[in-house]
Structure 1
Amino acid sequence: MRANLLMTAAMMAALPAMATEVVGYYPGWKHEAYPVSAANIGADKLTMALYAFVDLCWEGKHGNAEPSVNFVAACQEPLNGALAWRDEAEDGANLRALVALKKTNPQFKVVISVGGWDWSNRFSNVADSPRARANFIASTLKAIRKYGLDGVDLDWEFPGEVGVPCIVGEVCARPQDRQNFVTWAREIRAAFDQAGKEDGRHYLVTIAAGANASYTGDGAWVKDMSQSLDWINLMAYDFHAPWDKLSGHHAALYADAKDPATAAGAYDSAAVQRYLAAGVSKDKLVLGVPFYGHGWKGCAPGPQGDGQYQPCNGGTTSGFNGGSFYGFSLLRKLGMLTPSFEGGNGYKRYWNEAARVPYLYSAKEQVWITYEDPASLKEKARYIKQQGLRGAMFWELSADGEHQLLNTLSEAMK
């Protein structure tokens, strides 16, 4: 009997970890058009909502003066490193509404996400200052306890090379950013563990991490970082977008030899393998998937007649806010996708068998669109489970207002 029990335990240990997480971002700044409600959030299908975004205070202000962002405001708590809210009353109301959904969905967690693309400009300063890091921890725990939250997510884009250009006279990146980030995460973990003992619960610490090889570097720092985290939300999308001269898939699952960027590992499975090769454990990786797409204009049909991997003339103007960004719901609204998820309005849906993703092309308009749909989500859910990863994350809830993608992902992850 003992031998059989030992054998069963050994067999269980050899199995991949259960894929459990379905994590979705909620964009707080869209609360008027997409308010927190049971119907909009779908908490019964999620394990976590990441509330995007909360900022960091520095020298009494927060935001980003860079022209593409152009938002600066006074901090509610004018301490370097303290949390700063876009509008504390509105953010607080949104958070309370999200937390209320936990009453009927015990698996559902609510976590504040700090930073994001626009608001990563203060991370380097805070991470480089022991006092500012301590202020952040105290401020974050205060907010967690005030609103009944489950933890914090750090969305630093990116350590060592900030995404939004830094304005003249400010410092937004340092050579020591990665090591400072590791130190910061270690301090957060220790403080959250102590707070958890006092409160009788476990407080989560996660990060949103880049998927490109330039983010992981030699891998040593991400392994060290992972030791302090519950998991890493891997932003495995935007590998291609209209800033590229050629059309290309922004979240291909596997390599396609026809893609000129394949050699650089610009696809999901390569990103996952980079983290695993660095020593990050499988149960600390959550694969990010996009609920949106990107569009290029002026793309000739090319030899296959589908516009794929062809030179284009920049981004389209029919997407969100007149740009090249298309939420899945917007593709439906514009008629580019039919109710059965085929191409419409002159667009044809294609499927890349190697990359396991769809794309749309209009030969008449010469517009090419990369996006995610139920078929590609099922492929990614299968990959997550085969690899034994922690689960899936997506950006973001309002892009899938009818929950076609969320329903697919939730069901596929079971």
Structure 2
Amino acid sequence: MFVFELKRTSCCMAFLCIIQFGDAMARIFLLTVLMVLSMQEKSNVAGYITACYFTSWSALTSPTQVRLPVEDVDASLCTHLMYAFASLDIQSMSVVALDPFHEYSRAGMTGLYEQFNQLKSKNPNLKTLLSVGGQSSGRAFSQLSSSKLSLQQFAQNTMKFLRKHGFDGLDIDWEYPAAETKDKFTFLLKILSEEFSNEATNKEPLLLTIAGAGGEDKIRAGYDIKAISKYLDYIFVMTYDFSGSWNKVTGFDSPLRARNDSNFSPVYNVQYALNVWINGGADRSKVIMGLTGAGASFTLRNITDHNVGAPVQDGGGPPGPLYQQKGRLMYPEICQSLKKGWTRVWDEEQQVPYAYRGDQWVGYDDQQSFGLKVQYVIDEHLGGVMFWELSFDDAKNYCKNGAFPLLHVVKQTFANHPMDSNKTSETGSTDAVSQSSDATEENPTTPSHRTITTDSNNGTVHFVTSLTKDTGVKLKSTVVFDQVDENIGEAYSPTTGEFTAPVSGFYLFTIQVMATYGSGLEYELKSEDSAYSTRVRVESAWSTSSGTAVFHVQKGHKVKVIKYYGPDGALRQSPWSRFSGFLLRES
């Protein structure tokens, strides 16, 4: 993905330079600014994310043998850490601590919030978010979202709270918006996104994410997917809890794929749930697959029938020895069971394992299934994975595979497959995953530069990209901003890549290289309105790297990529690239 985020001061100076000093000076200034911005962006390349939830109760109230103090968290395994949960307080119009005594610091005691955010000293790239909501939070969210004034006040108070305690963003866990509150949910995210963006004048904007439903009925009822996608940095899809104590037959907590069996709904699997979001208009780069260390446990009716789909007794399996949750066994408990003689079976159809012994049965995830799920994220060009929750991943090494064995698989699999973001900004399904009934042609490939609009009343330009929120830039003259994208696919020659100007004006052009082809790539651009061509050098061929050039182009005239040079300087065919044009000033 190419993130094009001009800071307010730089953008204003660039446009004023065009206006006051003419095209030649403007070209030099723009290219200088963009080179600096490009260098800044390269130092923050956005690869796959691994978002991990940490729960306050695992730190404080869990049984001793599975307690997870903050200091035992391996901060190197996650790119984002969510602290769950904070409360939503209607009276104060803010998020507040669920357990102020333990979470706030005071004289002689470092609170959990401070301990949690000190993990960034172990991983300087780590982002921390405060998750607000959880089960039974819907009523409070609905009340809060009844007016714009209350939401703006909530946003202001919450931003102060997050900054004070050292968090980098807010995670909204509204379980779940329904048909009657769908518009309120969208409005909530819109106001938060706007307020977060406005607050970040001279600092990095706070992140905004949600924990989204995995069941199709809940997704379709409560989420205006296209609308909310543009306000969010990430959508953590809870693609688990597909089976549980309500089942009449054995089934998996989080199967990757559907089962060809009339006892199983085709919608309760990871692949289908993710496609409902994608086909509904969510940006692939923002769709995050949910993973968990919890397994669905059952008591069999007949100990001789232990296949997937075998009849079970009501209420799920008995509590495990560590976490003591009826109908759920966590990964460390399953490891212990396997060491005591349970039989493990791999289910190829749904690509997850199950285990049984006597009348007990559990469908779960392990290192093998995690590897396949992470590979699915890579193959489908999604944004990454989310894990619920850290204490479920054998932090105490019961499995004798080292602490956090599941998350180590995630980290290693992503490390072995650096992000190739040639399709991460797309919406809509691929042929391999087009299960959802709403898979239509209404969601074509979406350019990574999402929307650009101009407010003619006050001269403010707004642009939204795949990884940035709406950013307003106040200009001192009327400026038209527009964009046309041309993709140079693998089946095309560089000479077929062309940009047609929608209006006459001064354009900025960018080249994105969407695959890891090394460094020193060069593209030669030629405008119909110019006697010369410009060679654009792309220093690093990875997701956010780009080259830039500036031309004046008449309406209807073209700018083309006419040649591509490899790192050795030889003329080559182009790797997968995106060629984009931005109208800086209409003439």
Task: Tell me, in whole angstroms, the C-alpha distance in 1 between the residues paired with 2:136 and 2:369.
Answer: 29
Deviation at 1:84?
2.7
Percent identity, aligned pairs only? 26
CA positional deviation for 1:144: 1.1
Matched-pair contact (CA < 8 Å) for 1:317–1:324 = yes
Tell me which residue corresponds to 1:164: none
- Is 1:52 matched up with 2:100? no
Helix, strand or coil for the counterpart of 2:258? coil
What per-residue deviation string (whole Å, max 9, x for no partner) do you get for residues 222-251 of structure 1? Answer: 111111000100000011111122211121
**Residues 128 and 177 in structure 1, CA contact (< 8 A), matched pair in contact too:** no
Q: Which amino acid aligns with 1:374?
A: Q
The partner residue of 2:344 within 327, 349, 369 is: 349
1:247/1:121 Cα in 2 relative to 1: closer, same or farther (>3 Å)?
A: farther
Count of residue pairs brought into register by the alignment: 348
Match of 2:185 in 1: 181
SS at match of 1:239: coil
Does the CA contact (< 8 Å) of 2:300 and 2:310 recur in 1? no
Assess if the C-alpha contact under 8 Å between 2:243 and 2:253 holds in 1.
yes
Is the CA contact (8 Å cut-off) linking 2:253 and 2:294 kept in structure 1?
no
**Secondary structure at the residue paired with 1:358?**
strand
Counterpart amino acid of residue 311 in structure 1? P
Q: Name the SS of the counterpart of 1:116 in structure 2.
A: strand
State the partner residue of 1:36. Answer: 70
Q: Does 1:271 align with 2:273?
A: yes
CA distance in 2, matches of 1:116, 1:396: 13
For 1:91, the equivalent position in structure 2 comes to 103
Q: Cα RMSD between the aligned structures? A: 2.0
CA contact (8 A) 2:182 2:221 kept: no
Query: Which residue pairs with 2:195 in the alignment?
Result: 191
Pair 1:133–1:105, CA change in 2 (3 A)? same
2:404 corresponding residue in structure 1? 403
Contact 1:259 1:309 in 2 (8 A): no
**1:252 and 2:255 correspond:** yes
Unaligned 5+ runs, structure 2: 1-44, 61-66, 105-110, 396-402, 416-587
Counterpart of 1:404, as a letter, is P
Change (3 A) 1:110 1:241: same
d(CA) in 2 for partners of 1:245, 1:43: 40
Q: Secondary structure at the match of 2:114?
A: helix
CA 1:201 to 1:322, structure 2 compared with 1: closer, same or farther past 3 Å? closer
Partners of 1:306 and 1:181 lie apart in 2 by: 43
The equivalent residue for 1:75 is none
Greater Rg over alpha carbons, structure = 2
Partner secondary structure for residue 262 of structure 1: coil
Distance 1:211 1:408 in 2: 23
Residue by residue over 1:204-226, the C-alpha shift from the partner in whole angstroms, topping out at 9 and shown as x without a partner, is 00000001111221797111111
Structure 2 CA distance for aligned equivalents of residues 259 and 97 of structure 1? 49
d(CA) in 2 for partners of 1:121, 1:91: 24
Match of 1:310 in 2: 310
Which of the numbers 122, 125, 142 marks the counterpart of 2:140?
122
Distance 1:187 1:18 in 2: 25
Distance in 1 of aligned mates of 2:221 and 2:392: 35
Give CA deviations for 1:34-93 in whole Å, capped at 9, x if unaligned: 2101xx2111111011100011123xxxxxxxxxxxxxxxxxxx42x4213222242232
Q: 1:305-384 maps to which residues of 2 (within 5 A)?
A: 305-313=305-313, 314-319=315-320, 320-321=323-324, 323-332=326-335, 335-338=336-339, 345-362=340-357, 364=358, 366-384=359-377
Counterpart secondary structure, 2:170: strand
Q: Which has more helix, going by share of residues?
A: 1
Separation of aligned partners in 2, 1:122 and 1:323: 29
Greater shift, 226-235 or 312-321, is seen at 312-321
| Structure 2 residue corresponding to 1:236, chosen from 231, 235, 239 | 239
Aligned to 1:412: 413
Whether contact under 8 Å (1:299, 1:307) holds in the other structure is no
Structure 1 Cα separation of the partners of residues 139 and 51 of structure 2:
25
What is the rounded CA distance, in whole Å, between the counterparts of 2:236 and 2:318 in structure 1?
A: 30
Contact 1:19 1:389 in 2 (8 A): no
* Structure 2 Cα separation of the partners of residues 104 and 377 of structure 1: 25
**What residue number does 2:381 align with?**
388
Q: Is the 8 A contact 1:82 1:139 kept in 2?
A: yes
Cα distance in structure 2, aligned partners of 1:311 and 1:384: 33
Structure 1: give runs of 5+ residues left out of the alignment.
1-16, 59-77, 161-174, 339-344
> For the Cα contact (< 8 Å) 2:80–2:128, is it kept in 1?
yes
Which residue in the other structure is 1:293 paired with?
295
Secondary structure in structure 1 of the residue aligned to 2:118: helix
Q: Distance in 1 between matches of 2:375 and 2:222?
A: 26
Is the aligned partner of 1:213 residue 2:213?
A: no
Query: Which residue of 2 is the match for residue 101 of structure 1?
Result: 119
Please tell me whether residue 23 in structure 1 is matched to residue 51 in structure 2.
yes
CA distance in 2, matches of 1:322, 1:154: 25
CA distance in 1, matches of 2:386, 2:226: 20
- Whether the aligned pair in 1 keeps the contact of 2:80 and 2:127 (CA below 8 Å) is yes
Deviation sequence 1:383-404 (CA, Å, 0-9, x none)? 0000100000010001111311
TM-fit CA distance, 1:130: 3.0
TM-score, length-scaled by structure 2: 0.57
- Deviations 1:81-125 (CA, angstroms, capped at 9, x unpaired): 421322224223212112112123122111000111244442222
Q: Distance in 2 between matches of 1:256 and 1:187?
A: 41
Relative to structure 1, the CA distance from residue 259 to residue 209 in structure 2 (aligned partners, 3 Å threshold; closer, same or farther) is farther
Higher strand share: 2
**1:213 partner letter:** E
| 3-state DSSP of counterpart to 1:113 | strand
C-alpha contact 1:18 1:390 (8 A) present in aligned 2: no
Q: Give the equivalent residue in structure 2 for 1:341.
A: none
Q: Which amino acid aligns with 1:384?
A: V
Distance 1:374 1:225 in 2: 33
Q: Distance in 2 between matches of 1:138 and 1:224?
A: 22
For residues 107 and 354 of structure 1, what CA distance do their matches in structure 2 show?
38
Report the Cα distance in structure 1 between the residues aligned to 2:47 and 2:298, rounded to whole angstroms: 35
Match of 1:69 in 2: none
Contact 2:176–2:222 at 8 Å: present in 1 too?
no
Indicate how the Cα distance of structure 1 residues 127 and 193 shifts in structure 2: closer, same or farther if over 3 A, else same. same
